[in-house]
A and B are shown apart, each in its own frame.
Chain A
């Protein structure tokens, strides 16, 4: 097991290196300079800035300098915001983390009960209503959903502000918009899990024992039905954390995603690379965590080569 983890960690480093290398040269190959302005920089000033960010050196030298700094944990400096990338990421990651976590909580709190009820009342109007909602949730992309939520809950009902981040309250709409898709997906997973489990022999046995329906469903059936949901949570959480780019833009959330988008537009090389490094590290390690979790959830999965 330990050997497996070590080898996976080493693989992760290679994966990250490939991602950084590819991203670096793609950024460099993109036309346009981070120092370009409609009012052109003074030549002497431009020269000063080029030297400062090593932009006057060949691309490969720049790459080596960047890798060297990265190895020491230095993500460089944002050309546009003129502050260290690590500091910018530290400040903004918390917003993305809050929204991502809340979106997952929202998804579970909405998705599981919805799927449960639908599964128990299969082929009734309740089931159709729940699954209809889920279908809508899975089909509507969040960049459509988010403005609709603004229209209803901010502009229409006036319960929330249309964007910005002053207090926790401002995180509700973004979290809900982001979590809606996952809620829908979880509802479908729970329903099909429920349908499968409810026909199993051990459920019939539990009922035969004379247990109340409530106990049968909540103590016996739900546990089995939620297995697919649990294994979905890992990748979903990673996707929610890194996938909030659009939501952050729409709601003007000062999170990582906005830096990713603006950084690309501004050719702010180090900011974009920094966010890419963080995003990919998150994805790689969350995937590793999920793989390891399988061994605990499902005894049939084992990563030990000797067994």
Chain B
């Protein structure tokens, strides 16, 4: 606490001295922690992603802005009318950093090693979209030789044919994700599944290559001269400095040691927002509260809705959360989808009416409930504000329960709570990433909510290939979710960045993915 406070003073009083320290052809940025791995099939975090998107390239590449996906290793691709078959045409000049050509087989190998359980892949669900993937995996788990053909195969070195079990409308978005990147088979066969990704052995196919990694210090990337589009890459390298403390990241920016840092501490936002380098945009994420629907009094939908209606989100965001957008639904705003309106509102009178109807007129007889949150200044502020609103509007007894991160995760997983703070950042730009987890059997559900009609709508969303009809189905699902209210959306996450004004080609985008190949400095 003291450290934080003093750091804040130190940072707030420091004057900006400009980016004198970083060479003009190096882009230096902060990384919030050590990358856990450089193996795209195994990784699962945003820190790992910031490295992976620059050293690897998938079939399709994320654009610098919110525009359409860009060609990556695949020059072009076709989708069959039934949405089940994707054909990717790979460019002939795509090379690995050791000079080997990138072939369709590299993708087949990369995807199959996850299904074969050669590695513990955290995003294995993405390869499960492939035809026969589940049957194949079941055989592997049972220790048998799989008798099925998984829906990914090469037709020569430059054509990759992908068949899906059922249509996945956002499959191109999935293909863009790092889990689906190719891996260099020869290195793995030579060094093994893990050692092949050690800095001294790693072979990659992106615009940059991993030049150096020092634990808790820095990840240094240098331009990959063999990259097919190397001519358009202007940077000589990207230096990622590992700085865990958020205030220290801002201090490093002020020292001129980095050109870009993200997620500055909330208590500094007001000061930082006045600076030229500050950039803010919506993020694909929602901050919400979970209700444990198996535990009275929260098993009553009227109680859950009353609690939601008693929260004045506009006030909360204005007073305690500088710059955050009050949530009006659960799916964070994204192109191509409009959430239902009128379900997440502030209406204390209706809240009191619902509470009375549930048997607690004026809050009388309402048992004490607790808000569970993990240790963080920010979560505490929000929890206190909501505690106040509930006590004031509904006259009920609300306590706060603060737990350390991993204890909190366990408590939530065991449904040992009343109300719990949570957050979700979308994996891909499609409402499904926010909606699928509320299926009764989803392991990320953690509320006890199970509704067959809801599950049916989610399934129907997959089966529907017409975008407009599909949007209506998903809107129906979200409406049901917000009517049953196992979750209470609070606000939408925002991305906050400090970017040196001399940096060009760095655009805000909803995925928050920024490829060094588009960036340069003036």
Give residues in A with beta carbon < 8 Å to B.
31-34, 36-45, 48-49, 52, 80-83, 88, 91-92, 143-144, 146-148, 150-151, 154-156, 158, 161-166, 246, 249-250, 252, 254-255, 258-259, 262, 265-267
Contacts and interface: CB of A to CB of B under 8 A. Distances in A.
Please provide the 7 A-B residue pairs with the shortest distance between their CB atoms, ordered closest to farther.
A32-B406, A147-B6, A254-B216, A155-B14, A162-B251, A48-B120, A36-B409
Given A155-B13, A165-B217, A82 B252 contact: no
Contact of B117 (A41, A44, A164, A258): A44
A155 B10 CA distance: 6
A39 B44 contact: yes
Contacts of A166: 257
Contacts of A147: 3, 6-7, 9-10
Nearest to A79: B36
Given A31-B407, A154-B251, A48 B117 contact: yes
Contact of A81 (B215, B409, B410, B422): B215
21 contacts: A32-B404, A33-B409, A36-B413, A42-B443, A44-B124, A45-B121, A48-B120, A52-B120, A81-B34, A81-B215, A147-B3, A150-B251, A155-B254, A163-B243, A163-B252, A165-B217, A246-B3, A252-B242, A252-B248, A262-B244, A265-B404
Nearest to A82: B37
B441 to A, nearest CB: 11
A163 B248 contact: yes
A18 B251 CA distance: 42
B2 A161 contact: no
A45 B122 contact: yes
A154 B255 contact: yes
B251 A143 contact: no
Interface size class of B (residues with CB under 8 A): 35 or more
Contacts of A37: 44, 122, 409
By DSSP majority rule, is chain B's interface helix, strand, loop, or mixed?
mixed
Nearest to B39: A82
A249 B255 CA distance: 18
B17 interface: yes
Contact of B10 (A32, A33, A150): A150
Interface in B287-317: none
A144 B7 CA distance: 10
A176 B430 CA distance: 52
A166 B252 CA distance: 12
A83 B137 CA distance: 27
Contact of B244 (A165, A252, A267): A252
A163 B244 CA distance: 11
B129 to A, nearest CB: 14
B255 A162 contact: yes
Given A40-B443, A45-B124, A265 B3 contact: no
B125 interface: yes
A44 B141 contact: yes
B170 interface: no
Contact of B257 (A164, A250, A259): A164
Given A32-B410, A161-B255, A82 B36 contact: yes
A31 B443 contact: no
B444 interface: yes
B252 A148 contact: no
A234 B125 CA distance: 56
A75 to B, nearest CB: 15
A262 B215 CA distance: 13
Interface in B1-21: 2-3, 6-7, 9-11, 13-15, 17
Contacts of A80: 36
Interface string B394-425: 00000000001111011001000000001100
A249 B216 contact: no
Nearest to B137: A44
Given A31-B410, A32-B407, A42-B121, 14 more contacts: A31-B406, A33-B409, A34-B406, A36-B410, A38-B409, A39-B44, A49-B120, A147-B9, A162-B248, A166-B257, A254-B242, A258-B216, A258-B244, A267-B406
